[in-house]
Structure 1
Amino acid sequence: MIGSAPAFWSRRTSLASLLLSPVGCIVGAITLRRMKGPSQIVPVPVLCIGNPTVGGAGKTPTALALLARLSRQGHAPFALLRGHGGSLPGPVRVVPDRHDAVAVGDEALLLAAAAPTIVSRDRPSGARLAVAEGASVILMDDGFQNPSLAKDVSVLVIDGAAGVGNGRVLPAGPLRAPLAPQLAAADAVLVVGDGAAGEAVAAQAARMGKAVLHGTVRPDPQVVAALRGRRVLAFAGIGRPDKLATTLRTADVEVAGLRAFPDHHAYVPDEIAALAAEAERIGAMLVTTSKDMARLRAPAFAAHRPAIIVLPIEMEIGPQATLDDLLALAFTRAARRSLQPA
């Protein structure tokens, strides 16, 4: 069970990274050229939550936090995403009682519980469906490097501890394209959690005149209170599975072990049965993420679901004034765009 990135992605002097750098230069050039491609426009603001690297940085909790904030401000936000891991090409509005992770992906199910959500591999088609369904603003989860839908504001999410790794482009490192051009195309960076690596990216963004936000992940206090004093066996198939163990340990929960799976891993019943048996053997409780539990909704997992505890998290983003300025900027830019001749 492997859920982590190559170790050399965090070491700039790695021989493997150096040997792969020429390939990374080609990949980066192709991505940057694609980012300059034509874009289609929709008549509502589009906010994009992306990241400059592959792997988990916290886009989904960021999207959930922004959807909630936009709703509190009186807007009608719709989430738009590709539906990674799902089979439906879309565009389709997600109905949690009818769709599962096999159809629309785990992230779509989480977002759909918070706001109307559209899954579409063709993002402009998905955006048009959102507008037709009543969206006053679209929050696009991922797609920063995809030019097909015009964005009014883009925020790049950075993991504070990991930053951008060794600063090289795939496959030599975790970057999807060279960092500086990506920062230039964004409006802000959001650093999630503490860490010098993330702060270095924030400092670079600030020097380029970009807004800088900071995010803090807060686990559900009631669940944490119930877990204290108990041993837990954590498992996760997310971009960075170690984040689950870190969150638990930071909350003073004893983690007997972590079983890491690849991002968006499609669990099979035998895997969950093996985890349950291991937890029973070591006298621990099984704990996982909301995203992982979204993939365990099928009847085949019904016997084991009651024994699995989900640790919900929330993202707190600040400074709030900077965040609200960014949200307002999206509406301002969309309004100006509507006044331009076709």
Structure 2
Amino acid sequence: MSLPAYWFTPPDRPGLRARLLTPWALWRARRAGADQVGWRAPVPVISVDMLAAGSVGNLPAVLAVIGQVQRLGFAPVILARGAAGPVRIDPRRHCAEEVGGAALLAADFAPTWVAPDWAEGARAALAEGSADCFVMMGGLRDPALIKDLSIGVVDAVRGFGNGRCRPAGPLAEPLEAGLARVHLMLKVGSHAAQARFAALWGARISSPVMAGELQPLETGMDWAGARVLAFAGGEDPALFFAMLRGLGAEPVRFEALATKEAYGPGLLARLEREASLRRAQLVTTEEDAVRLPLAFRRKVISLPMRLQVPDLAPLDAALTQAGLRQDK
């Protein structure tokens, strides 16, 4: 399900619908979490969160941060928010419906806990064992757990859209408030997209900026000329579909699914039948693949994507300032 087009009109021409929704959107943003008091963990806490809805998602940025923290010699624990728990995710026992697809994938890279409350998850992880730091998959605006480092992620293609809060625009809160929370900005996109983003929004960002680009992970699969029927959920699967085209695949059709749409028997049977009739291979994202029933997952190829960040110096400096020093 694509994001509303009016979210991404130019900031100086928001359109009637965005203008009408703006007062309600601002009231919602100011009310969220207003009465909560945060808990400070005994180890550094890092939040990695999207400032605005976009195609890139949060998981690739979280994995990039986790990878660098581990390369520096630390043992991070990932925190995710969900209805389950607090529980440490076991990929062999838990499913995406219980803990969320992104958190389930993250558990392959570092110990991952899910809980309804960020502080509750952190306390449970500390009670189980030691952790050098926590990396939150989101939670930038949630005051329940005090952060030592907040990394704001932005899709350089979509930027901050019309600069308004949901549902009038793609932002979770007024842009100035979101930027004030951020210690490091990570913009994700091609060189051309990042140049456009810098021209439009760069003057409003005062924190250090780091650039990265999503790239397909090499798996040995030759996509050139491959007939595919690609499907994906999430807020906007356009980037995934564009990446398949860039690899040389020949799509017979792309199907964008609603963000929370369940992969029920009817939908799966329809996808399989169409792929068979059109002699195409079913393809989806890693996060969507883990939501599929195991028997059906074997019929689908997933395309993993990873965030490539050429210059990690801004992240290293931010981690040091947050208390993750290499001379620990």
Whether TM exceeds 0.5 here: the answer is: yes
Per the alignment, residue 43 of structure 1 pairs with 42
Displacement, 1:59? Answer: 1.2
Change (3 A) 1:135 1:264: farther
The CA deviation string for residues 97-125 of structure 1, in whole angstroms up to 9 with x for no partner, is: 11111111111110001110000111111
C-alpha distance in structure 1 between counterparts of 2:227 and 2:79, whole Å? 38
Change (3 A) 1:213 1:205: farther
The root-mean-square deviation of aligned C-alpha atoms, in Å, is 2.0
C-alpha distance in structure 2 between counterparts of 1:305 and 1:111, whole Å? 19
CA contact (8 A) 1:164 1:197 kept: no
Please state if 1:106 is matched with 2:101: yes
C-alpha distance in structure 2 between counterparts of 1:330 and 1:266, whole Å? 39
The CA deviation string for residues 114-142 of structure 1, in whole angstroms up to 9 with x for no partner, is: 11000011111111122232211100000
Please state if 1:308 is matched with 2:287: no
Which stretches in structure 1 are left out of the alignment for 5+ residues?
Answer: 334-342
Task: Output the TM-score relative to the length of structure 1.
Answer: 0.87
Please state if 1:156 is matched with 2:152: yes
Which amino acid is the alignment partner of residue 241 of structure 2? A
Higher helix share: 1
CA contact (8 A) 2:164 2:171 kept: yes
Please state if 1:212 is matched with 2:209: yes
Which stretches in structure 2 are left out of the alignment for 5+ residues?
Answer: none
Displacement, 1:4? Answer: 1.1
Displacement, 1:169? Answer: 0.9
Change (3 A) 1:38 1:56: farther
Displacement, 1:332? Answer: 5.9
Displacement, 1:255? Answer: 2.3
Which amino acid is the alignment partner of residue 281 of structure 2? M
Corresponding residue SS for 1:213: strand
Task: Output the TM-score relative to the length of structure 2.
Answer: 0.91
Please state if 1:26 is matched with 2:27: yes
C-alpha distance in structure 1 between counterparts of 2:262 and 2:67, whole Å? 29
Per the alignment, residue 330 of structure 1 pairs with 322
Sequence identity percentage: 38
Change (3 A) 1:72 1:332: closer
Change (3 A) 1:293 1:201: farther
CA contact (8 A) 1:49 1:142 kept: yes
**Mean CA deviation greater in 69-78 or 53-62:** 53-62
Displacement, 1:273? Answer: 1.5
Of 127, 131, 148 in structure 1, the residue corresponding to residue 126 of structure 2 is 131
The CA deviation string for residues 66-92 of structure 1, in whole angstroms up to 9 with x for no partner, is: 112211221111100103xxx41x111
CA contact (8 A) 2:51 2:178 kept: yes
Which amino acid is the alignment partner of residue 183 of structure 1? L
C-alpha distance in structure 2 between counterparts of 1:262 and 1:56, whole Å? 14
Name segments (4+ residues, structure 1) moved above 3 Å. 34-37, 54-57
Per the alignment, residue 14 of structure 1 pairs with 15
The CA deviation string for residues 204-246 of structure 1, in whole angstroms up to 9 with x for no partner, is: 354x2x01011111102235x4221211111001221111111
Q: How many residues align?
A: 318
CA contact (8 A) 2:223 2:248 kept: no
Corresponding residue SS for 1:221: coil
CA contact (8 A) 1:158 1:198 kept: no
C-alpha distance in structure 2 between counterparts of 1:157 and 1:264, whole Å? 22
CA contact (8 A) 1:9 1:172 kept: yes
Which amino acid is the alignment partner of residue 48 of structure 1? S
Displacement, 1:190? Answer: 0.7
Corresponding residue SS for 1:216: strand
Change (3 A) 1:152 1:205: farther
